[in-house]
Amino acid sequence: MGDLKEKINCYKNDIVKNLCEFVRIESIESNLEKDMPFGKNVNDALNYMLNLSNKLGFRSKNLDNYVGYCEYGIGEELIGILGHIDVVEASNGWKYPPFEAQMHDGKIYGRGTIDDKGPLLACMYALYLLKESNININKRVRIIFGTNEETGWKGIKHYVKEEEIPSYSFTPDANFPVIHGEKGILGFHLEKEFNEQSKYIKNIKGGISANVVPSDCKAILYNTETTIRNIEEKIHNYKNISYNIEDNEIELISTGKSSHSSQPELGENAISNLLRFLMEITDFDDELGNFINCYSDTIGFDYNGNLIFGDMSDDISGKLTFNLGKIEFTDNKIKLTYDIRYPISYNYDDIYKKLKESSIKLGYNYSEFEHFTPIYIDKNSKLIKTLMSVYSSHTGDNVSEPLIIGGGTYAKAFENCVAFGPVFPNEEELAHGPNEFISIDRLLELVEIYTKTIEELIKL
């Protein structure tokens, strides 16, 4: 293709402009609206990518607003690239507004810049460069636009029902050099309705999603002299807890740090902080108080779930991770929402049995909203070796090995599919956290890497 970097640079302004426009669409899933199953904003983002596909000269298709794709090339065999256009909500702690795509110091800041809008757009321009080069592509290359990857996978499941499954695929939604295994994922709720109204706590609310470590949580307490005195005595031990008093109510505010739930050690769970503090300030002699005290003994606050599971880990994929992502208590009802990433060598039954035992001890109703089994692809497979070769030749890194992660990607959707990029070794993980960004240089570098990747995959 001649000087690939020079050709990419010719499209730099278009790539940056398109990503900024894409990020400004606040594509968080919302309620069904007319024929838009994931709400208007997600639908707008899907249409944006389909319209861009048409402008770039690709064939495109919208599958009932559940999912879409663009395609280029000819031949019976299909190569797939899977990305998602939806994003998680933006919690506090941002330097710049998360949906304005502001540029500072050569970086584009915004929700979705790295997860997954920037890498997905890079793949589109990679395919466009191959199209414009007029090289012979004897396979079809299809870029699939997933719509609710963050919240349930209905979009990609609709694709699987309706469309052809590629022979080989990758998703630009994790890390380099390449991901050959992913932990299992289990999302579940614990719910209970109390028989009596709490004498001390009016409501508690915190978190935005199971797969995000919550950065904020608030509780409204009834104002009593004892409660105020206990708060003042204990609050100096909690640097991230503050309070306000207004009339007959006390507002407790817990501030943490968001991160992806697969790496809870990178965040600070504001819900856990608040529950710990509530345990300290009073004995709460009612049903809710009993729950809070029992919670610390039954489920606990560590992010590996040791009280429930013990040391559940393996040499391949490490420890189980356990994230309390949301809490809602109001009108005598409480609902807790969790995300678990469990090691590859364990199975669903290992997890389910222990969770049920703990929920029974707490007297809670247990219900699941998602489950994905672990995946593992041999390092010596054609797909892994091809992607490792692209990465090594581009970076000169001949030391790094294929990885196993706790994150769940679209690699679980198809056979012969793995996650490939966009985060390089030793780089900060920005997905689901505040101040997500992608540098313009990195965005263009991803176009280069994914151009070479497509070239190699069509040779398989």
| Residues 220 and 150 both lie in one domain | no
Is 160 found in the same domain as 21? yes
Q: Is residue 86 annotated as a catalytic residue, yes or no?
A: yes
Do residues 296 and 270 share a domain? yes
Same domain? 192 vs 174: no
Is-contact 137 130, C-beta < 8 A? Answer: yes
Instruction: Residue 148: give its domain's CATH number.
Output: 3.40.630.10
My answer on whether 398 and 335 are in the same domain is no
Q: How far apart are CA 68 and CA 80, in angstroms?
A: 13
Amino acid at 194: F
**Quick one: 176 and 201 in the same domain?**
no
Is residue 358 located within the same domain as residue 449? no
Same domain, 440 and 398: yes
Question: What is the predicted pLDDT for the residue at 132?
Answer: 94
Same domain, 190 and 336: yes
149 is catalytic: yes
Residue 28: predicted pLDDT: 97
Residues 251, 385: one domain?
no
Catalytic residue among 26, 29, 71, 86: 86
Q: How many domains does the chain have?
A: 2
Domain edge (last residue) among 353, 372, 391: 372
Boundary of a domain, candidates 356, 372, 388: 372
Q: Write the CATH number for 263.
A: 3.30.70.360
Tell me, yes or no, whether 399 and 312 share the same domain: no
Task: Residue 298: give the domain boundaries.
Answer: 185-372
pLDDT of residue 34: 87
DSSP strand pairing (179-182 vs 333-342): unpaired
Catalytic residue among 26, 115, 149, 339: 149
Q: 251 with 329, same domain?
A: yes
pLDDT at 170: 98
Nearest in space to 52 (alpha carbons), one of 87, 25, 88: 25
Kindly give the confidence (pLDDT) of every residue in the chain, 460 residues in length, as a single tens digit, with 9 standing for 90 and above: 669 999 999 999 999 999 999 999 999 999 988 899 999 999 999 999 999 999 999 999 999 999 999 999 999 999 999 999 999 999 888 999 999 999 999 999 999 999 999 999 999 999 999 999 988 889 999 999 999 999 889 999 999 999 999 999 999 999 999 999 999 999 999 999 998 888 889 999 999 999 999 999 999 999 888 888 989 999 999 999 999 998 889 999 999 999 999 999 999 999 999 999 998 887 667 888 888 888 888 888 889 999 999 999 999 999 999 999 999 999 889 999 999 999 999 999 989 999 988 888 878 899 999 999 999 999 999 999 999 999 999 999 999 999 999 988 999 999 999 999 999 998 988 999 899 999 999 999 999 999 999 999 999 9
**End-of-domain residue from the set 372, 403, 427:** 372
- Separation of alpha carbons 302 and 265, rounded Å: 10
